[in-house]
């Protein structure tokens, strides 16, 4: 008998790599003048994905524990506003610090509501999604902040060699989180909590502490994403990150992490996000209108989730 776990995981990730390769061929082939394969286009992909990719790392861990965080887009907007407005009064470094603080506090609030008050993560983060977005709008009175110094723009618009700067930030984050999931107690405990929270408590695992950390970390990652985003578009606006939760959650599920919790894979999330990015980019180049992409996103999410379930069931029966 094969030790089921290791192989199943590698199959999944290998499969994703295969799908990615295939898509890159297909998208490139069907794009006008093969523009998809242009260096500029391909190298530009990570720019757009990096912010989401960083947030998706935190989301993966949260979903592994059986939770969810719908407020990530709003936290990104809020952190961006914090950055912009603090910069205006006190300078860039305090601005960055404020953004990180705002993100972490927002995430911590989510965590406290979910752990101390035992409120369901879904509804809590649905509510804070609106709450944080509203706060961002109110603070900024819907006025964006622009004209950031050039040096700041390096993070979001600069290069290190041929690759954009944020690509490295993203990869670093992914590596960090792969290590966290595979090699630290946090990762192990998160898997256990998602597998069976009751048993996790009986096993004397620090369930509350882990959840608080995870939701706070998610908020922090949103802030990092906000900093990169603001740097990239040179603007801090309150509606940044609107609707991002859909793509991020899709990436996590596509990557192989189950929505009900348990085992998770950061690498899978990474690949899933890249696949989604490639699809979106390719379709845009092909001239597919945004509304169709909206619809496609929905279909991809449903299809992936259902396929995931079927695969898990079949594995269990075997």
6-25 binders of another protein (CB under 8 A): 6
Of the candidate spans 9-17, 167-175, 194-202, 216-224, the one that interacts with another protein by CB under 8 A turns out to be: 194-202
Residue 42 sits in the site that holds another protein (CB under 8 A): no
Give dist(CA 318, CA 313) in Å, integer: 9
Residue selected from 158, 188, 234, 311 as contacting another protein according to rule CB under 8 A: 188
By CB under 8 A, what part of segment 196-235 binds another protein? Answer: 196, 198-206
> What phi, psi does 31 have (nearest 5°)?
-85, 150
CA atoms within 13 A on the CB side of 242: 8
> Which neighbouring-strand residues pair with 160?
163
Residue selected from 10, 35, 146, 184 as contacting another protein according to rule CB under 8 A: 184
Cβ 4 to another protein shortest distance, Å: 5
When computed from its CA atoms, the radius of gyration of the chain, rounded to whole angstroms, is: 20
Contact call for residues 276 and 293 (beta carbons, < 8 A): no
By CB under 8 A, what part of segment 152-171 binds another protein? Answer: none
Contact call for residues 84 and 140 (beta carbons, < 8 A): yes
Cβ 61 to another protein shortest distance, Å: 14
Residue selected from 19, 20, 305, 311 as contacting another protein according to rule CB under 8 A: 305
Cβ 243 to another protein shortest distance, Å: 8
Residue selected from 17, 178, 259, 311 as contacting another protein according to rule CB under 8 A: 259
Cβ 85 to another protein shortest distance, Å: 15
Copy the structure tokens of residue 297: 């996103």
Cβ 118 to another protein shortest distance, Å: 6
Contact call for residues 297 and 279 (beta carbons, < 8 A): no
| CA angle at 176 for the pair 210 and 114, rounded to the nearest 5° | 25
């Amino acid at each position: 008998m094969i030790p089921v776990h290791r192989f199943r995981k590698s199959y999944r990730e290998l499969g994703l790599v295969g799908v990615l390769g295939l898509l890159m061929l297909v998208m490139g082939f069907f794009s006008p003048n093969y523009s998809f394969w242009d260096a500029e286009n391909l190298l530009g992909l990570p720019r757009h994905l990096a912010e989401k990719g960083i947030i998706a790392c935190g989301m993966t861990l949260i979903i592994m524990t059986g939770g969810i965080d719908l407020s990530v887009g709003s936290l990104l907007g809020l952190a961006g506003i914090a950055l912009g407005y603090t910069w205006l009064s006190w300078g860039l470094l305090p601005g960055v610090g404020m953004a990180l603080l705002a993100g972490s506090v927002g995430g911590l609030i989510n965590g406290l509501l979910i752990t101390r008050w035992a409120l369901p993560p879904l509804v809590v983060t649905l509510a804070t999604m609106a709450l944080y977005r509203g706060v961002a709008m109110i603070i900024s009175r819907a006025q964006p902040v622009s004209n950031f110094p050039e040096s700041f723009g390096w993070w979001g618009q600069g290069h290190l060699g041929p690759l954009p700067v944020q690509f490295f930030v993203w990869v670093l984050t992914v590596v960090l989180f792969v290590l966290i999931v595979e090699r630290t107690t946090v990762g192990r405990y998160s898997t256990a909590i998602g597998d069976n929270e009751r048993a996790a408590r009986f096993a004397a695992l620090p369930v509350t502490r882990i959840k608080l950390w995870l939701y706070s970390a998610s908020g922090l990652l949103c802030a990092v994403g906000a900093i990169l985003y603001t740097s990239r578009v040179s603007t801090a606006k309150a509606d940044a990150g609107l609707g991002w939760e859909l793509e991020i959650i899709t990436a996590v599920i596509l990557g192989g992490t189950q929505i009900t919790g348990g085992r998770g894979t950061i690498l899978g999330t990474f690949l899933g996000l890249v696949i989604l990015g490639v699809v979106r980019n390719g379709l845009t180049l092909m001239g597919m209108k945004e509304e169709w992409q909206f619809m496609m996103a929905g279909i991809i999410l449903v299809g992936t989730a259902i396929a995931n379930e079927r695969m898990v069931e079949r594995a269990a029966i075997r």
